[in-house]
Amino acid sequence: MPTCDITSRPRVGRNWLPGLLALWLFLALAGCSRTRYLKVREEPYNPLARSLQLLSRKGPQPSSRTWQLLRRYDLAKQQEKSPQVVLAAFQKQVETEPTPDKLYSFAELSYIAGQRLEHDGQVKESLDFYAAAVAHAYLYLFDPSLDRFRNPYDPEFRRACDVYNGSLEAALRIVSLQNKLRPGETQIIQAGKKQFQVQIVSRGPWRAEDLSQLEFVSKYELDTGLTNHHHTYGLGVPLIAVRGKHDDETSAEKYYPPGLSFPVTAFLRVETATPQDVAGNVHRCVLELYDPLNSCDIDVCNRRVPLETDLSTPLAYFLDNPVFRDTDLATIGLRTPGQALGIKGLYMVEPYDPNKIPVLMVHGLWSSPTTWMEMFNDLRAFPELRSRFQFWFYLYPTGQPFWVSAAQMRDVLTEVRQAVDPNQQNPKLDQMVLVGHSMGGLVSQLQTIESGEAFWQTLSDKPFEELKASPEERAKIAKTFYFHPNPAIKRVVTIGTPHQGSSFANSYTRLAGKRLITLPAMMVELSSKLIRDNPGMFRNTELITTTTSIDSLAPDCPIFKPLKSAARAGWTKYHNIVGVVPKEDFLGRLSEEGDGVVGFKSAHLSYVASEIVVPADHLRVHAHPLAILEVRRILLEHLGELQAIAFVDRDLVPAGYCPPPGMMPLETSPGSWPVSPASAAVPVQPPEQISALQLYGPLPRPVGVSRLR
């Protein structure tokens, strides 16, 4: 049987080319950790800057429609001399006959007055005018008495939305400087003779204590890290909310990364005034903070109103966090896997939602979850996906063999399930989708196959029972080489995955990997002890001693044989995406057919439900638009089939499934799949049949999705 021999001397020949190309790609990949996702604007973005000439030397100016209205009431000349006097005079016209054009113009003029006062340093005074602008724009947009006159096709209608948004943001900036923009509280804001009582509430899944800091999206613009900027138009002020740690956290919150930021849209709702409020010149408002991943539109005055949202800038803000920008997680995970063990695990970058199906993304060699941000940014921009799926990420040390990482991932999935669904009653968690890039595809596949004895036999031709080791040591070895498919995983998508190894793992790169990668000391010590205590037991000691991740990807590595022939879960569907560099490209002319690291023959699979070829190299294949659209198609197909079937499994264990004979007893944590001998295998009772519509509600059904046969 061939072995993963990393001690052979390099031979000069054609094998140098894949190693050279791999080195080039790895160097490029290492640069990804220094990608900048965000930059600060010189001036915050303002949609009114052009129409109201906010940046002109003369200062802000009314729009042509407002000038025309001022001329009608003989106020145009006075506007140039005393804008605030004009506002007082115009207020009487609005009160006498509150037409839409008057309300809009008054809101616009109030906003301009606020801008001028703030520019002159009169910040407190400007707040009064911003508040008036918000209130009158709100009346223009929602006063029921104006329904028969309001025209949403009029450009003035969109400008009224911009005035509402712009004046609300300007007011919130001032309130924020006063440290009064704190969720869960009611703030009393005195603006001139008016008193605004503003209750600040969170309308999404985030609690008030989660929102430790609020930043304005308009302050930033995307840098090179994300290609697409997903922004929708409506009412409200897009914000970046930074989560803070607090007491009484839920079991899911331990999976939130430090410095997590998320999108929020602030909407100010003006409440109906009581006679006492009018007499006291009190205005009661509710500043509502919405999660656009949960609510894209809201009900205001008996009509459905879209929110202004920004999903990409808060994501970029999170990725530009110094915790990630100044820490090369990819290199730490490759070179010193032992150091990465403390940070490995599953991460959620949006609130855990028991009503959404998890999509777990698994990165590849010399990489980290940030490699998925291009795809993640685009996928959750589709409302039909973000309303049904939640995206999770798995971080693991990529310097160790992929089968070790797969064993660790099994434990993590068990732990997460126990934390968020201890009674294992949530059917959404039984419909998980794994998406793996490169080596991450192998880690993902190993969650869905039956090991039998084949994986152990790559190490030894002697029975596992003869292994001399302590119970703890036996358990560690058994977890790696004996396993069952996870019945909660219903689909696996592999992208640029070396299903039969990669030619980049030749003698040159493997020797370099041995010198570059420092395996965890505990792993090395355990391996040495097992070999010492079991002379003649192992036919292939390299698999448990000096094997690095690069060795594990060599085409002659014996693990690929049982991986290819292993029994696969009947409840799991597989999809494959292959990268092929065009021959006219420089890399395409030098390398074999494939993505420059993984050849087409190794990346191709014959047993999958679908496979597409994407014109991209290994580094970019999972960020290519066609790959992202294919993952979207697969997720929609997943939803369509859930709607088509008559029932879904409620239990983790599919009906009638029994572990095959030959499995050794192993202590497992609560909720994990038991590894037990055949004598202990008991058939599981069929799951209760429940309507998929009852569990999942109406699901989008894309054209062309076939029913499950």
What distance lies between CA 259 and its chain's CA centroid? 14
* 68 close to 102: Cβ distance less than 8 angstroms: no
Instruction: With CA atoms as reference, report the closest residue to 369 among 447, 292, 435.
Output: 435
Q: How confident is the model at residue 359 (pLDDT cuts 50, 70, 90)?
A: very high
Side-by-side strand order, sheet with 389-395: 345-348, 389-395, 357-362, 432-437, 489-495, 573-579, 610-614
pLDDT for 367 equals 75
Within 406-462, strands assigned E span 432-437, 449-450
Average pLDDT over residues 468-492: 91
Q: Residue ranges of the alpha helices (H) in 534-685?
A: 549-552, 560-565, 586-590, 600-603, 625-644
Within 8-110, strands assigned E span 38-40
- pLDDT tens, position by position, 275-305: 776 667 788 889 999 999 988 999 999 899 9
Structure tokens at 566: 């292993």
Angle between helices 83-96 and 100-119 in degrees, nearest 10: 160
Low-confidence winner among 45-59, 209-223, 239-253 (lowest mean pLDDT): 45-59
Q: How confident is the model at residue 192 (pLDDT cuts 50, 70, 90)?
A: low
pLDDT for 6 equals 33
Is the predicted pLDDT of residue 524 greater than 80, yes or no? no
pLDDT for 332 equals 41
Using the CB atoms, write b or e for 622-656: b if 16+ within 10 Å.
bbbeebbebbbbbbbbbbbbbbeeeebbebbbbee
State the Cα torsion 544-550-554-559 to the nearest 10°. 40
Is the predicted pLDDT of residue 605 greater than 90, yes or no? yes
Alpha-carbon distance of 510 to 11, in angstroms, equals 13
pLDDT for 368 equals 83
Alpha-carbon distance of 685 to 253, in angstroms, equals 34
Q: How confident is the model at residue 503 (pLDDT cuts 50, 70, 90)?
A: low
- pLDDT tens, position by position, 554-587: 888 888 999 999 999 989 999 999 999 987 665 5
User: For 692, how many CA atoms within 13 A lie in the half-sphere containing its CB?
Assistant: 16
- Long-range CB pairs of 5-10, under 8 A, 24+ apart, other chains included: 5/542, 6/507, 6/510, 6/511, 6/513, 6/514, 6/542, 6/546, 6/547, 6/548, 6/551, 8/507, 9/507, 10/507, 10/508, 10/511
Residues comprising the chain, all counted: 709
* 389 close to 356: Cβ distance less than 8 angstroms: yes
Alpha-carbon distance of 410 to 415, in angstroms, equals 9
Coil, helix or strand for 235? strand
Average pLDDT over residues 74-81: 84
Residue showing tokens 């906003």: 111
> In this prediction, what percent of the chain has a pLDDT beyond 70?
76
Residue 599 has φ and ψ, to the nearest 5°, of -70, 155
Return the amino acid letter for 464: F
Q: How confident is the model at residue 702 (pLDDT cuts 50, 70, 90)?
A: very low
Is the predicted pLDDT of residue 341 greater than 60, yes or no? no
Is the predicted pLDDT of residue 82 greater than 50, yes or no? yes
Q: How confident is the model at residue 115 (pLDDT cuts 50, 70, 90)?
A: very high
* 430 close to 503: Cβ distance less than 8 angstroms: no
User: Can you spell out the DSSP letters for 330-386?
Assistant: HHHHHH-HHHHTTT-EEEESS---TTSEEEEEE--TT--GGGGHHHHHHHTTSHHHH
> In this prediction, what percent of the chain has a pLDDT beyond 90?
43
Residues 510, 511, 517, 523, CA torsion sign: positive
* 701 close to 640: Cβ distance less than 8 angstroms: yes
Is the predicted pLDDT of residue 514 greater than 50, yes or no? no
Q: How confident is the model at residue 591 (pLDDT cuts 50, 70, 90)?
A: low
Q: How confident is the model at residue 229 (pLDDT cuts 50, 70, 90)?
A: very high
Is the predicted pLDDT of residue 689 greater than 50, yes or no? no
* 482 close to 675: Cβ distance less than 8 angstroms: yes
pLDDT for 324 equals 61
pLDDT for 474 equals 87
- Residue 237 Cα distances to 168, 188, 205, 240, 349, angstroms: 7, 20, 18, 10, 22
Q: Which fold has domain 16-36+320-696?
A: Rossmann fold (3.40.50)
Average pLDDT over residues 205-233: 92
What distance lies between CA 200 and its chain's CA centroid? 27
Average pLDDT over residues 654-672: 36
Is the predicted pLDDT of residue 523 greater than 70, yes or no? no
DSSP code at position 503:
T
pLDDT for 597 equals 85
Q: How confident is the model at residue 516 (pLDDT cuts 50, 70, 90)?
A: very low
pLDDT for 589 equals 52
Average pLDDT over residues 413-440: 95
pLDDT for 665 equals 30
Specify the DSSP element, H or E, that contains 395.
Answer: strand 389-395
Question: Rounded mean pLDDT of the chain?
Answer: 79
Average pLDDT over residues 384-388: 94
pLDDT for 504 equals 58
Of 586 and 603, the structure prediction assigns the larger pLDDT to 603
pLDDT for 217 equals 97
pTM (2 d.p.): 0.82
* 184 close to 208: Cβ distance less than 8 angstroms: yes
Q: Greatest CA separation found in the chain?
A: 104
Is the predicted pLDDT of residue 699 greater than 70, yes or no? no
Average pLDDT over residues 23-29: 47
Q: How confident is the model at residue 694 (pLDDT cuts 50, 70, 90)?
A: very low
